[in-house]
Amino acid sequence: MMERLLDVKSLTMDFGGLRAVDQVNLDVCQGEIVALIGPNGAGKTTFFNCITGIYAPSDGEISVIPPGKKPIRINGFKPHKITQAGMARTFQNIRLFPNMTVLENVMLGRHCRTTSKILGAILRGSHTRREEEETVDFSYHLLEKMGLEKYANEFAKNLPYGAQRRLEIARAMATEPFLLLLDEPAAGMNPQETKELDDLITKIKNEEGISILLIEHDMKLVMNISDRIFVMEYGREIAKGTPLEIRENPKVIEAYLGEEVHA
């Protein structure tokens, strides 16, 4: 049995009268790629927002279990605490720091893993200097891994769309998470680029040992890389299972996939 990293029990989120997420259970284990799919407006992004502390969920239990450590119940935690605990995310609508350079975007991801304070910044003692150097080093290597090193000193806003998506992933990885949440990473990419993304995600899982939970509408990608799939509709979980099972599930086909993929 693999170790669990994230355990969500009957998570519920209401917006006024609208129940966007309704008693959803979901878990992610070590070394897994789990996908969350479902029709538009099913509540997937909202689910992400709840478990990363951007919204305070109306009900439910969320725990993260850092590998080899005790579970932490993170309901009501501020986003930065959750990131510190080891869960990082990207956004459906890209949210980079547009007027910072690409490298700085990644360096910001290091914020919660570094410690130098104001006085350190002013005096720039040996500790701070070392830390800065390490930050630059780490960030640069990360950019290399993501194939972004040639943009290092560009402003983030001037990058092509696909590169921006990859930069968001790099920034999230800079926080050294054990679980990475990706919200529609392939949106706006053409089939060729999606293929590259496919390789990248697999590489992150295999080489960095980071588990992944992703939301995606590109079924080719999802079916290719995920170990397990959860399907949501109208806030509720309607199915879960391996890609094969999901592909055949009539409920999912009717609500989401349509005939084409099946055919």
Partner 1 sequence: MTSSFFAEKEIYNGLLLSRTIILQELINFLMDYFLELLLGGLTKGSIYALIALGYTMVYGIIELINFAHGEIYMIGAFTALIAASILNMLGLGQITILILASILAIIYSSAYGFTMEKIAYKPLRHSPRLSPLISAIGMSIFFQNYVLLAQTSDFLPFPSLLPEFEFLQPYRHIIRSPEIFILFTTVVVMVLLTVLIKFTKVGKAMRATAQDRKMAMLVGVDVNKIISMTFVIGSSTAAIGGVLIASFIGQINFYIGFIAGIKAFTAAVLGGIGSIPGAVVGSLILGCTESFATGYVLSDYEDVFAFGLLVLILIFRPAGILGKSSSEKV
Partner 2 sequence: MLKVNNIQTYYGNIQALKGITLDIGEGEIITLIGANGAGKTTTLMSICGVVPPKQGEIFFRGTPIHNMTTEKIVALGICQVPEGRHIFPGLTVKENLEMGAYLRTDHHGIKTDLEYVLDLFPILAQRRHQQGGTLSGGEQQMLAISRALMAKPRLLLLDEPSLGLAPLIIQQIFEIIRKINSEQKTTIFLVEQNANLALKVAHRGYVMENGTITLADSAANLLDNEDVKKAYLGL
Partner 3 sequence: MHIFEEIKKSTITAVWFVFLTFPIMVIRVNTIHKTIEWRWDNMIMVAVGSFALSFVWRYFMEHRQAPKPEAMGRGVPWIQNARQAIKHPVFFYSAIALLTVFAVIFPFIFSRYQVNIMTTALIYVMLGLGLNIVVGLAGLLDLGYVAFYAVGAYSYALLHLHYGLNFWICLPLGAGLAALFGIILGFPVLRLRGDYLAIVTLGFGEIIRLVLENWNEFSKGPSGIAEIPRPPIPGVELSLSESSVFLYFLVIILTLFTVFVVNRLRNSRIGRAWIALREDEIACQAMGVNKTATKLTAFALGATWAGMAGVIFAAKTTFINPASFTFLESAIILSIVVLGGMGSIVGVIASALILILLPEYLRAFSEYRMLLFGAVLVIMMVFRPQGLVSTVRQTYQFKGLKKDKEVG
Q: Is residue 170 close enough to count as binding partner 3 by CB under 8 A?
A: no
Q: Which residues between 106 and 125 bind partner 3 (CB under 8 A)?
A: 107-114, 116-118, 120-122, 124
**Amino acid identity, residue 214?**
L
CB of 49 to partner 1, least distance (A): 6
CA distance 228 to 156: 33
Q: Is residue 155 close enough to count as binding ligand ATP by CB under 6 A?
A: no
CA distance 110 to 200: 21
User: Which helix (H) or strand (E) covers residue 229, if one does?
Assistant: strand 228-233
Residue pair 112/175 in contact by the 8 Å Cβ criterion: yes
Q: Taking contact as CB under 8 A, which single stretch among the options 98-106, 148-156, 161-169, 238-246 is the one that binds partner 2?
A: 161-169
Q: Is residue 163 close enough to count as binding partner 2 by CB under 8 A?
A: yes
Among 54, 152, 238, 253, binds partner 1 (CB under 8 A): 54
Q: Which residues pair with 7 in a beta bridge?
A: 27, 63
Residue 51 burial (C-beta neighbours within 10 Å; 0-12, 13-18, 19+): buried
CA–CA distances in Å: residue 28 to residues 25, 77, 194: 11, 19, 23
Q: Is residue 161 close enough to count as binding ligand ATP by CB under 6 A?
A: yes
Q: Is residue 126 close enough to count as binding partner 3 by CB under 8 A?
A: no
Enter the tokens of residue 162.
């696909």
Q: Which residues between 142 and 161 bind partner 3 (CB under 8 A)?
A: 152-155, 157-158
Residue pair 82/73 in contact by the 8 Å Cβ criterion: no
Euclidean distance between the first and the last CA atom of the chain, given in angstroms as a whole number? 34
What residues make contact with Mg ion under the rule CB under 5 A?
45, 92
What residues make contact with partner 3 under the rule CB under 8 A?
52-54, 78-80, 83-84, 88-89, 91, 95-101, 103-104, 107-114, 116-118, 120-122, 124, 128, 131-133, 135-137, 140, 152-155, 157-158, 171-172, 174-175
What residues make contact with partner 2 under the rule CB under 8 A?
15, 18, 38-46, 92-93, 160-163, 184, 187-195, 217, 219, 255-258, 260-261
What residues make contact with ligand ATP under the rule CB under 6 A?
15, 18, 20, 38, 40-46, 92, 158, 160-161
